Chain A
């Protein structure tokens, strides 16, 4: 069974700092890995999707990397801003043997606070 772990559970940084969020998974046979942002009381917003054949994806100040063989992904946020404060979730998509489809397994998230 796929398990996804995110470390740290919470992180507080001063504005302007660069930071890295970590995600690890136990089964390397994944289709893709997706990073989400969740603001308090809101739904999930997709940030970046990395296919299993890719090493990294970039969007603005965000860069996500994937090392499938070691079961790790990182989300790098450059020049953090107070508006980046949110919970960041990673999720991996793996094959589901039941219906011949796939399932998305989530980590429990890293709660980021960027202090002005």
Chain B
């Protein structure tokens, strides 16, 4: 059981380049989400998904796209990288219990450190 995995661990991009950050979980969690962590700002939600085929925006979605074609994978796409997207990106997952919605623990991946020059 690998938990939540993220690739790559580190990435440097030039302004305007695009790329995809990968996230996968093997716990059969319905709920997956992406956060960015910046000094002095804490963790902020970018996008989330409550199940395959369903995604929604979080607090800071601009410049990012997501899709959820399978339960296991939730990639985050940067369409045209900007220096303001330099950050550490974390993927997280949890169960989504219909009876006690939101009761379950969140599990986080190890993060991707992205630098945009």
Chain A residues at the B interface, C-beta cutoff of 8 Å = 31-32, 34, 36, 42-46, 49, 51, 89, 91, 93-96, 98-104, 106-109
Q: Of B56, B90, B102, which one neighbours A44 at CB under 8 angstroms?
A: B90
Q: Of B41, B45, B50, which one neighbours A99 at CB under 8 angstroms?
A: B50
Contact A106 B42 (CB under 8 A): yes
- Chain B interface mostly: strand
Contact A99 B54 (CB under 8 A): yes
Residues of chain A within 8 A (CB-CB) of B56 are: 96, 98-99, 101
Residues of chain B within 8 A (CB-CB) of A49 are: 105
Contact A31 B103 (CB under 8 A): yes
Total count of chain B residues near the partner, CB < 8 A: 29
Given contacts A44-B90, A89-B43, A108-B42, contact A101 B111 (CB under 8 A): no
Shortest Cβ distance from A83 into chain B, in angstroms? 19
Residues of chain B within 8 A (CB-CB) of A102 are: 101-102
Any chain A CB within 8 A of the CB of B74? no
Given contacts A42-B111, A98-B56, A103-B58, contact A108 B90 (CB under 8 A): no
**Chain A residue nearest in CB terms to B57:** A98
Considering the chains assembled together, what is the distance between the CA atoms of A95 and B48 in angstroms?
13
Shortest Cβ distance from A28 into chain B, in angstroms? 15
Contact B106 A91 (CB under 8 A): yes
Contact A34 B105 (CB under 8 A): yes
**Chain B residue nearest in CB terms to A99:** B56
Residues of chain A within 8 A (CB-CB) of B31 are: 101
**Chain A residue nearest in CB terms to B42:** A108
